[in-house]
Each structure stands twice: as structure tokens, then as C-alpha cells.
Chain A
Amino acid sequence: MNTTPEIHRDDLASKTGMWLFLFTEMLLFGGLFVVYSVYRFRNAQAFHLAAGELSVTIGTINTIILLTSSAMIAMSITALQKKNKKFALFLLGITIFLGLAFLVNKYFEWGGHIKEHIYPGSPVLALRGQGDVLFFGLYFFMTGLHALHIIIGLVFIGVITLKISRDKITYDNFVLLENSGLYWHLVDLIWIFLFPLFYLIT
């Protein structure tokens, strides 16, 4: 800012930085995956039964939503590179819309569980045994942390969209858009692991 008179730009450095940051995100969730495997190993039966209670339909819909949104942001990068600013903005709009749709689904899914008194610290859940407590504890914590990442991603993409509409990000200077895309793909990737771990392995 005040001490760098000449503007220094290095897109590769920005991208490298983003990749390194994504490593840390993977390890953040990696710690949780370790905890999940340990408790799944110890409570195989309970995890098996509890997983059956989650709605595969909602999970699948959310997976499709996220994968589509990832494709949208990837396409918006190409659109911007081809100088089609309007289409890029349109695709980003769809990305944000799909991200919000994911959250809405998640809200109803969580709401359903909470109505059935399944939430961390619930006395009803505690009566069902330790395996269930751990399964749903992990479920809420991991999908909650993931949802937090979705929210951060949406804010990030929102800022990028504004910057594109104000021509702060253009076809020859789009590393920020690319980085937000990378982040969004990571959020997607983590969901790709969460989905089978909680919904499909029964």
C-alpha cells in the first residue's frame, strides 16, 4: 500500500498461495476424518444403523447442486477469459443461487433432525447410546463446518461478482476469480467425501 509504489503482480504466486491455503483446509478436515474413522471403527454397528436415518435423497440432491455449481464457476472463468463478461456474471449468479439452495436444503435437513430431538447434547439422543451420540455429533460438526465454508465461499464469490461488474477483475486479470473457483472446488471436494461417509456407507 503506502510502501509499494510500483504495482507488483504475480498471478502464479497468488495461485500458489491459494493452493497452499487449500492444503491447510484439507488438513483441517483431515483431522475430523481421522476422528470419524476411529469412532466408526469402534462403533461399526451403531454408525451403520444411524447412517440409515439420513435421507439419501436430500444428500444426493445437494451433491448434484454442489457439483453443478462447481461446473458453473469453472465455466464463468472461461467465459471471462473469452471476454464475455455478461455471461460470466450470469454463471456466477447461478453459482451463488445453487450455493444458497444447498444451504436451504441443509437447513430443512437439520431442522428435521432437531425436531426428532437429534442434536448434540439432546437427552433423547443420549439415551440411544454412545455410537449414535458420536455419529450425530460428527454429522452436525462436520456438515456444520462444511456449511460454514459454503457461506465463506459465497461471500467470496459475491465480492468477486461485484468486482467483475465494476471491471476490477477483467479478462486479462482474473486470478482472483480463479482463486475463488479453486476454493469453491475444495468445498465441493470435501462434500464429495462427507456424502458417502455419512449417507451412503450403511
Chain B
Amino acid sequence: MSTQKDIAEPSFLDYKGRYKGIFSWIFSTDHKRIALLYLYSILSFFAIGATLGLLMKFELIAPGKTIMSAQTYNAFFTLHGIIMIFAVVIPGLPAVFGNFLLPIMIGAKDVAFPRINLLSWYLYVAGVSLVLISQFAGQGPPDTGWTFYAPYSFRTTGTMLPAVFGAFVLGFSSILTGLNFLVTIHRMRAPGMTWLKMPLFPWTLYATGWVQLLATPIIGITLLMIVAERTLHIGFFDPTLGGDPLLYQHLFWTYSHPAVYIMILPAMGAISEIITTFSHKTIFGYKFMVASVLAIAFVGYFVWGHHMFTSGMSGTALYTFSLLTFIVAVPSAIKVFNWISTMHQGSIDLQTPFYWAMAFIFVFMIGGFSGLILGSLAANVHLHNTHFVVAHFHFIVFGGTGFAFFGAMHYWYPKITGKMYDTRWANIGLVLFFIGFITLYGPMFYLGFKGMPRRYYDYDEIFHAGNIVSTMGSWVLYSGLAIIIINLFASLKSGSKAPSDPWGGKTLEWTIPSPPPVENFDEIPIITKGPYDYK
């Protein structure tokens, strides 16, 4: 397959289009340039969110006020949540790596609607800007947490409107990305690429696309109702006007639980690609992998109630949601088994992305199992709204999606930039990141189990020791993160030139030069074999 001509075309990085300088990026409809626009914006917002997290952990190093007041702490965890959920992990893998690689991996020249693709980036930036404006406008920043729970979200004096509307706009951006990917996958696969010859990363993007499309409108309308509640006093969720705050929670989680699968499914897809490439062996149980992705996306719609076990629901509803929560763990477990089986008897090449994949499986399993503890009714009553929950979802969302994001970054970095990175620094960064991660979030399980509630800037003296460890973990994590990012940026200058297939991957993106030419393929390839053909 590696019979490409020697760099006949300029790469997408060097291409001179109609516009010059920065305009050749922000007016570009090339899916690869849009992917990098997303990458840079997401990294910037991630830096803001991570810094807020670091400061919050520092506040928690000792009981009482350390560096910030209770109100500042409330504002910090709210902004941290909104940025990290809506602006980093939800768009993270689909908008960056999905945009860059989906068309290439299915043998297309671009996504189906390149201009809508650019529009969704503009909406993304507009949405985050609105969220950030809410911090500085009006009577103080929002302090409701990222969930905007009613009735507090329309009673607080904080500036809620831009934040809520910003989240709405971000949802719209996410819908457009999902829609674009769905149509692209339906209409633009290369000739011969039947559904079951499609690589797993596009498959996960396909499932994600459906979740984005069918779940996001619900939060859209719910957030609009909050806006109406604040401006017009309509009373949907206001008990004094006959509304029901519980209904808000139902509507909110009807979206926000599937949103967890928007975050984790593409992560699983990226990990599947990494593991099969570095095991030099075809993925174990390809069809089961596909089926489990679709099963997770489908069942994921029907488990939202497990966020509300203590809010008040009928017994039947409680049992049903608990059972469904356990059922959704099955396809996730199938994926873990298949990853492990893929490695079995493979010729494993221990490279940085593979280490990331290993770390992913480790933290994802801890996150997943702690999810089952929370999904069981009796344990949930004890653990609800404690640090245990915080630890659980950071293991899934940061541990799962975050590790997969950095894994994907190290895996596709040579393809995207055309440079190899410094492996030694990358590995040092990873080790620090991993140790910091476990030290930061591990003790939270214990603290939560002992009863430390979430979202307080203060705590009882008995929780002191665990919090000191956790805060120190945040420093290690942050320095690991800094090393990783600095290394990747430094390698842009100092890295050696990347060949078209540095890892021995078999999917289509490795058949074209690094970085890819503007048009991706000189000729659209004709697919005759499965995606992971290692025979």
C-alpha cells in the first residue's frame, strides 16, 4: 500500500490557500486544519481548567480557609466543571482526532459538510467565550456547579445567563459535529469499505455521533428553560410556582449521562487502534467490539436515573435504573477483555502510546468498578455527593478520556505534525502523570467512603491526611502534564522527520505521507481487506 508518490503535493500545513497567515487557518474548511484549531483551543481551555483544579486542590490542603473564600471555591468548581465537561472532554477526541482522522481512515477527502464543520468550531469558541464572560460580568461568577441544578440556578445572584447560554451554544456545536460525522460515515466511505471493514475509531465516532445528535437537544431545551426561568419567571422548575426541580434533574441527566458516552466511546476507539497497532496483531473479536460500542451507546440512554438515587424516585424506578447501570458495564468489560486478548501472543512494541493505553486500561477499570459500587442502591445512599463520586468520575472522565486523549496525541502526533517526538521525555511525563493521577484521585475514594462531602472548601480535621496526599498528587500530575505538553511543542522544532508509517499501523492514515497532503489521497483507495490486516 505504501506506493505514494514522493511528496508531490504540499502538506496541509504548508498549503497556500486564498488567505494568508492566521486567516488561512480560521477560514479554512480543511478538516485537518479545523482539527488543529480545535486542538489548540481545547488545550488552552484545558490549561485554564487544570489550573483551577490545581488551585482548588491547594485550598483543600488544610481545613479552613487556605487561599480562597468559600464563594471563590464555589465559583472555581463551577467554572472548572463547565470548561472541563463542555469545552474539553466532550469535544476532545471527536473534534480533534475525529476531525483529523475520520475522513482519512475511511478513505475520504474531507467530511461531508466542510463549512458546517468550520461553523461548529466558531460556535465552540463563542460558547466558551460566553462561559468565560459570565465570570467577569454582573454580580459575580456562577456558583451552581456545572449541573445548574434548579431551583438554585435561577435564584443565585451569580451571572448565570451567559454561562447557561454558553453551554447551550456548545451543545449546538457538538450536535453539528456529530451530524457531520454521521453523514460522512454513511456517504463517504471509500469503495469496498463495507461497514464491517471500517476501523474501530470511526465506528466509535459513529456511535458517538448518534448520541450527540439524539441526546444534546434535550439539554439544549433544558438550558433554554433555565434561561426562561431566570428572565421570564415561567416556573417550570420552581416549586413556588408549581414547577418541579426533580423534573430538571431528569431532563438534565437524560442528556448528561449519555454525554459520558460521548466522552468515553471515542476514547475506547483510539485505545483499540493503539493496542492493535503496537501488538502487531489484528484486534480480537472485531465484531464484538463493534457490537459493544453500539450497545454502550444504546443502553447509555436508559441509565440516567442513577444520578438521582437519593433525589426521590419510586422503588421500581430505582431497581430498573440500578439494573440497567449494571448491564451497561457488560459491553465495557467486553472491550477490556478484547484489548487484553489482542495483546495475547502479539508481538508487542513498547512505545509511548502503548504505555498510555496500558495506563488507560488500568485507570478505566478502577473507574468502572467504582461506578458499579455507586450503581448499587444501598452503597449509593452512603456515597452520594461524597468525594467518592468525584474520584469515580475523574477516573473515568480524566483517567479514561484524558489518558486516551494523550495516548491518541502520542500515537497520531507523527502523522499530524510530520515530526517524531522525544520518547524519553514523553515517557518521563507519562510516569509522573500516572503517579500524580493515582496519588491525586486515589485518596478521594477513601475520603468519600469516610464521608467527606464534595463541593466544600472546608472539611473536618479527620480528613486532613488524605487531603494532603491528594494535594501533593495534584502537583506531580501538573508537572507531568507540563513535561508532556512542553515535550510535544519542543519536538515540533527539534523532532526528526516522521516516516509515513512509524509504528507499523495498518489503517489508511498510515498509507499517506506525514503530514498528510491537502487532498489526503491522490486516488481514493479501494478497500479489499479488513482494517487490521497483520497476516
Contact = CB atoms under 8 A, between A and B. Distances in A.
A97 interface: no
Contact of B183 (A2, A20, A39, A134): A20
A34 B247 CA distance: 9
A173 interface: no
A10 B109 CA distance: 14
Contacts of B241: 126, 130, 133-134, 137
Interface string B10-34: 0010010111000010011110010
B282 to A, nearest CB: 31
Given A1-B29, A24-B175, A141-B234, A10 B112 contact: yes
B232 A31 contact: no
24 contacts: A2-B18, A2-B28, A2-B29, A3-B17, A3-B30, A8-B109, A12-B187, A13-B183, A17-B183, A20-B182, A20-B213, A24-B175, A24-B213, A27-B214, A28-B220, A28-B221, A30-B218, A38-B244, A121-B232, A134-B236, A134-B241, A134-B243, A137-B234, A141-B236
Given A17-B183, A21-B179, A38-B244, A3 B28 contact: yes
B465 to A, nearest CB: 45
B315 interface: no
A140 B234 CA distance: 9
Contacts of A25: 217
A59 interface: no
Contacts of A137: 232, 234-236, 241
Interface in B230-260: 232-236, 241-244, 247, 251, 254
Contacts of A13: 112-113, 183, 186-188
A126 B179 CA distance: 42
Interface in A139-161: 140-141, 145
- List 4 tightest A-B contacts by C-beta distance, closest first: A130-B242, A2-B17, A137-B234, A27-B217
Interface in B202-224: 213-214, 216-218, 220-222, 224
Interface in B158-215: 175, 179-180, 182-183, 186-188, 213-214
B235 A17 contact: no
Contacts of B217: 24-25, 27-28, 30-31
Interface in A8-42: 8, 10, 12-14, 16-17, 20-21, 23-25, 27-32, 34-35, 38-39
Contacts of B17: 2-3
Contacts of B235: 120, 130, 133-134, 137
Given A3-B30, A35-B236, 4 more contacts: A17-B180, A28-B217, A31-B218, A137-B232
Contacts of B110: 3-4, 8
B225 interface: yes
Given A17-B113, A20-B213, A1 B18 contact: yes
A43 B242 CA distance: 9
B114 interface: yes
Nearest to A12: B187
Interface in B66-119: 109-110, 112-116
Contacts, number: 129
A141 B179 contact: no
B518 interface: yes
B242 A2 contact: no
A75 B302 CA distance: 42
B179 A134 contact: no
B226 to A, nearest CB: 12
Contact of A35 (B115, B116, B216, B247): B247
Contact of A3 (B29, B175, B183, B242): B29
Interface of A: 1-4, 8, 10, 12-14, 16-17, 20-21, 23-25, 27-32, 34-35, 38-39, 43, 120-121, 126, 129-131, 133-134, 137-138, 140-141, 145
B50 interface: no
Contacts of B27: 1-2
A13 to B, nearest CB: 4
A126 B234 CA distance: 10
B223 to A, nearest CB: 10
Contacts of A141: 225, 228, 232, 234, 236
B225 A35 contact: yes
Nearest to B182: A20
Max chain A Cβ within 10 angstroms of own Cβ: one of B114, B214, B217, B254:
B217
Contacts of A21: 179
Contacts of B233: 120-121
A30 B218 CA distance: 8
A23 B28 contact: no
A114 B458 CA distance: 49
A43 B187 CA distance: 48
B220 A1 contact: no
B13 to A, nearest CB: 12
A9 B27 CA distance: 21
B251 to A, nearest CB: 6
Contacts of B213: 20, 23-24
Nearest to B243: A134
A137 to B, nearest CB: 4
Contacts of A32: 221
Contacts of A129: 242
Nearest to A34: B251
Given A4-B110, A24-B217, A31 B242 contact: no
B268 to A, nearest CB: 23
Nearest to B215: A27
B144 to A, nearest CB: 20
Contacts of B243: 39, 134
A63 B116 CA distance: 33
Max chain B Cβ within 10 angstroms of own Cβ: one of A17, A120, A141:
A17
Nearest to A21: B179
Contacts of B228: 120, 141
Contacts of A17: 112-113, 116, 179-180, 183
A133 B225 contact: no
A2 B12 CA distance: 12
B30 to A, nearest CB: 4
B242 A133 contact: yes
Contacts of B24: 2
A70 to B, nearest CB: 22
B30 A24 contact: no
Contacts of B30: 3
A168 to B, nearest CB: 16
A102 B428 CA distance: 66
A43 B207 CA distance: 39
B44 to A, nearest CB: 24
